[in-house]
Chain A
């Protein structure tokens, strides 16, 4: 197990090299550079209200990125996240019907849907050997179709006002940001300090070897997909409270943005390598960059070009760091 997340601090310090430094700290350095650039180019980004908005947006994407990172650590991918985000919004609005007293049933049903979708994704991938890309893409289509058939294009209902609290402030920070950080800390603990986490990395590094060493690979993979879907439901709930309506474009782009954040954070597509905390720094980098480009007033086309270049640059840098001397 050669994962970054698995080595103790003394071992990491002893094995320091420019390549390993890029791999381990590249995203933090990139974030620091971006923050410095922003300080020079657009210092107004550092206004408390701007920072509040950036952290709030980061937490919405961050919840999805947490799940996506877990899935990528077992060499998977989840493209069904945007479908589940909108589905959560529909369920919350329909069951919630604008009444705070009905938030809890709405949450429970949403989580139930999330768990079922994660379970289905996991079973398709482990028991039927469907490639994650195909399985989760198919699930995305299925969710959209089922939702369309159920609502007939009419997402009636209303998001309860009580959910707006998730996007309000807790001291200087957005509530959703605090929730995101709490989940990041919890999952980081699970990944780095428990047998569950070590097995996730082992499965991602070499699934067959993990199986031969007695790990119930399929169970862990299914569990990871379920956790991912539950985190996506969490993001859907936060987003529903944020928008206050059923927006059919809710979380648009979160599928690719969450993958981009994880990749920028050094999570490998091949699985078994990468740090959850670095991936969350990747989320901050992606969101901070988006906000900075918007505040600069850059055209959408130029924004996309810059984002694309940053993503390609990150992948190129990591692949350079991975190359053996």
Chain B
């Protein structure tokens, strides 16, 4: 019996997305046409995995657990707060649940992360939470963990291959499409817009871009005046937006931006040019952007990519170790509170005037911790 169960689990993991395509939930597949799914391997994979359960019975063991976290490292405020959320959550869970949190910082570098994962695995953790710094670079590390019998939870990004148990993130295609649909609705399906993408060739940027592009394709009256990459940089975005303003001026009726930092630069450019900021659809946001849109009374909508998703990653790792079945792709929007698109109507739920501009809400740390970390004024 045990052999049969182990074999089924192994088959399920190895068979991957294609073999499990038929198991996708009707709700998930209904949202997209088959042509859309066929044309976009990422989307097909996410939809399929969302509807597929991983058998975790072979990982079941008694606690307390030793959890390894291979993180990006505090290279920016998003990642720094990710670490803090993780540490605080583990503290809250208590030593009887998580006896030890093994931590490694990749400093945002895939080359550094590969040997670090090896080091973490040599300490025999019960589960590995990995924030992959490279889709291809970390694939072999995940394979090695699986071979060692360590369940892997991918957090905030994916890897090639299929050896992990689950990935936690969000449907980036849908993120781009939702922002595009919101902007189109604001313009009544008719208007001149500008599109600022993230970094060319980076998965997360290109996928969100393709989601938005699918929307533009079906909105012939939305005219894209120009589309450029803003490199996820405030200064780059501001420079580009200034040139756009000089060229198109008041004919700009809407903006789609693949990132909160870039959106901040775009808003600054409009405000310095003393032009009203047109409706702004942003893939994500920081507290600084919320401050700008609130002060400037700007029509906006923004998706989320919260660092607090690490809480869900830790909880999911514990579920796996408890033998509970989990989806092979978990969208934090369906599993975490306070995860929804932010717009003018609900901005106060997410904006905190006492937080510094580089906080990415929602945040689940208590105020005292935020003050201690200098992210919040008293």
A and B assemble together: yes
Whether the pair B235, A153 counts as a contact (CB closer than 8 A) is no
Nearest-CB distance from B81 to chain A (Å)?
Answer: 8
Nearest-CB distance from B104 to chain A (Å)?
Answer: 15
Whether the pair B375, A245 counts as a contact (CB closer than 8 A) is no
Chain B contact patch, size range:
35 or more
Nearest-CB distance from B274 to chain A (Å)?
Answer: 12
| Residue of A145, A153, A158 with most chain B CB atoms under a 10 A cut-off | A153
Whether the pair A295, B236 counts as a contact (CB closer than 8 A) is no
Whether the pair A156, B374 counts as a contact (CB closer than 8 A) is yes
A44 to B74, CA, bound (A): 44
If A148-B107, A153-B80, A249-B233 touch, whether A53 touches B356 (CB-CB below 8 Å) is: no
Among A145, A154, A249, A300, which residue has its beta carbon within 8 angstroms of that of B235? A249
A247 to B268, CA, bound (A): 14
Residues of A within 8 A of B238 (CB): 242-243
Residues of A within 8 A of B373 (CB): 154
Give the A-B contact count at a CB cut-off of 8 A.
85
A241 to B370, CA, bound (A): 27
Q: Annotate A15-56 by CB proximity to B: 1 below 8 A, 0 otherwise.
A: 000000000000000000000000000001001011001000
Residues of B within 8 A of A47 (CB): 246
Residues of A within 8 A of B79 (CB): 153
Residue of A nearest to B239 (CB): A57
Q: Annotate A152-168 by CB proximity to B: 1 below 8 A, 0 otherwise.
A: 11111010000000000
Nearest-CB distance from B300 to chain A (Å)?
Answer: 18
Whether the pair A252, B265 counts as a contact (CB closer than 8 A) is no
B residues 215-239 near A (Cβ < 8 Å) are 226, 228-229, 231-236, 238-239
Among B73, B200, B265, B357, which residue has its beta carbon within 8 angstroms of that of A301? B200
Confirm or deny: B367 has a beta carbon within 8 angstroms of a beta carbon on chain A.
Answer: no
Q: Annotate A243-287 by CB proximity to B: 1 below 8 A, 0 otherwise.
A: 111111111100000000000000000000000000000000000
Nearest-CB distance from B261 to chain A (Å)?
Answer: 7
Q: Annotate B45-89 by CB proximity to A: 1 below 8 A, 0 otherwise.
A: 000000000000000000000000000011111011000000000
Residues of A within 8 A of B200 (CB): 300-301
Whether the pair B375, A154 counts as a contact (CB closer than 8 A) is yes
If A155-B358, A294-B243 touch, whether A247 touches B80 (CB-CB below 8 Å) is: no
Q: Annotate B86-105 by CB proximity to A: 1 below 8 A, 0 otherwise.
A: 00000000000000000000
Whether the pair B234, A44 counts as a contact (CB closer than 8 A) is no
Among B107, B229, B231, B243, which residue has its beta carbon within 8 angstroms of that of A295? B243
Confirm or deny: B124 has a beta carbon within 8 angstroms of a beta carbon on chain A.
Answer: no
Give chain B's interface residues, CB within 8 Å of chain A: 73-77, 79-80, 107, 200, 226, 228-229, 231-236, 238-240, 242-243, 246-247, 261, 264-265, 268, 288, 356-358, 373-375
Known: A44-B247, A242-B235. 10 other contacts (CB 8 A): A148-B107, A153-B80, A154-B358, A156-B356, A156-B374, A156-B375, A244-B268, A248-B76, A250-B235, A295-B243
